[in-house]
Each structure stands twice: as C-alpha cells, then as structure tokens.
Amino acid sequence: DFSTMDQEVIQCVAASYSIDGMKGIRNPRFMYGRKLTAHLNVVTVAKTARENLSNCLARCHLDIESILPSAYVAGLSCLNYEEINDSAIVFDCGAGNIDVGFFLEGKLVYTAFFPLGGKILTKDIQQVFSLSNAVAEKLKVVYGSVLHDFVGKKDLINLKELMQSNQIDDEFSTISSYKLAKILHDRCREIFIYLRDHFRNSPEINQLFQKMSGKIILTGGGANLLGLAALELKKGSEVI
C-alpha cells in the first residue's frame, strides 16, 4: 500500500516488469524466472483535497464513482487508438497547471503537473501593459500569438474596439502587436525549457522523453494560443 497519512493512491499502473534483472518486459505471463519486479507508476492525491472535493459534490447531491489523473483523462479524450497503444506525450495546458502524461503501449507510464498555466501569461500581459486582469485575458485569447517574427513591429491593437468601451484613455488605447507576441513567446519558451530540463533530471524519464518526443500532443485551453505547437516543436532552442 503506497498510501500515507496525508496521501491517497488514485491510480497504480505497472509500466513494465523485470525478470531476474532482464528489464523492459511488458507482459510477464507464461515467462519463467526466479525474481519478478514490477515498475509502477503510482499517482497519489492529498486526502484533504479529495475530502473537500467529495464534500463539495455531496452538497450538490453528486457521488464520485472514481478519481483519475487529469493527464490520463486528457490522453483518453484526445489521443487516437494508435497513439495510445504506440507512444505519445500529452501536455494538458490549463489556466493554473500544465499536466503531462507519457503514454506507452496503452499505459500511462509517467505523469506530472506543473503550476505554469495560462494565468502566468495573463499576468505578464497585465503587468507589462498596465491592464486589468479581464482585459489582459481577453487580449490573450483574441490576439495572443507566439509568432512574433510574423507580426509587424508597427502593427497596433485597438483596446477600445476589443473591449467595446470608450472608458479607456486615448493615450493607452493601443498596444503593439509585436510586443504582445514577444512577451508570450518568451514566457512560453521559458516554460518549455523548464519542462525539458525537468525531464532530463531523471535518466529513465529522459530516455522516455527522447524516445517519445516526436509525438507530443497539446490540449486544453492554453493550447489554443496561436503558434504554440510550432514553438514547442522547434528544434535547437526549445523542448525537443
């Protein structure tokens, strides 16, 4: 039992097996050996978080049948049969977190989450252009792009048209499209490099990442950012 006083197991998957030191066995049935070792991917959740979620849903007269890792569910919803049963990496880019799942031969063999969601991009826009959070979020959704090389340096965005309001001062009614794209590009590049370096810290995870990095799927609201897939797949300076 991998549960502790404050953590509860919600998923336990045998990623692979070893028999007498022979690694990489996916299905040990009908094989002979003296020592069988299972390499498990164990996902846990804080018991207090699970209890609070259960109580909240119970007050809405809803019962929880099971709790699953978000990266696992994201993979089931956006990967096809071949991708799940071959190999693929899923980046579920949400507002608060990026959930990562490595799928290999139909199994979730590794999962992690990082508090690096779309809210960080919104915060950057808000601080640089001195905007409210609501305006910064809408600016990101409507005009957000990481392809700054394809944006004219003199192109402007009219905030009055964006917000359909005349309450914005004329002095601050326009912002540079290039500057917006450059801010988003630099932050997204920083996030991808951080993820890459995190995977490289573990030899086993890095080996999986290098093997599967040719098939990365972006999903979630943050994945709608224009040019994000091209940035993530760019050789040399980015993740791969």
How close are the terminal C-alpha atoms of the chain, in Å?
37
Segment-wise mean pLDDT, segments of 10 residues, the chain, 240 residues: 78 86 85 89 88 93 89 90 87 93 88 92 93 90 89 84 64 83 93 90 87 84 88 50
Nearest partner of 187 among 125, 129, 229, 105, judged by Cα: 125
For residue 155, the model assigns a pLDDT of 87
| Sequence-ordered list of residues with C-beta below 8 angstroms from that of 234, at least 6 positions apart, any chain | 240
CB 100 within 8 A of CB 81: no
For residue 240, the model assigns a pLDDT of 41
For residue 92, the model assigns a pLDDT of 93
CB 174 within 8 A of CB 157: yes
Residue found by looking up tokens 């808000």 in the block: 126
Q: Can you tell me the distance from the alpha carbon of 123 to that of 47, in angstroms, rounded to the nearest whole number?
A: 31
For residue 96, the model assigns a pLDDT of 92
Q: Can you tell me the distance from the alpha carbon of 66 to that of 196, in angstroms, rounded to the nearest whole number?
A: 31
For residue 231, the model assigns a pLDDT of 77
Nearest partner of 112 among 90, 130, 96, judged by Cα: 90
For residue 5, the model assigns a pLDDT of 77
40 φ, ψ (degrees, to nearest 5): -105, 145
| Sequence-ordered list of residues with C-beta below 8 angstroms from that of 157, at least 6 positions apart, any chain | 139, 143, 174, 175, 176, 177, 180
Q: Where are the alpha helices (H) located in the chain, listed in sequence order? A: 47-59, 70-78, 81-85, 118-129, 133-143, 159-163, 177-200, 203-212, 228-233
Q: Can you tell me the distance from the alpha carbon of 135 to that of 27, in angstroms, rounded to the nearest whole number?
A: 53
Residue 195 CB neighbours (<10 A): 19
Residue-wise over 102-121: b if at least 16 C-beta within 10 A, else e?
Answer: bbbeebbbbbbbeebbbbbb
CB 152 within 8 A of CB 200: no
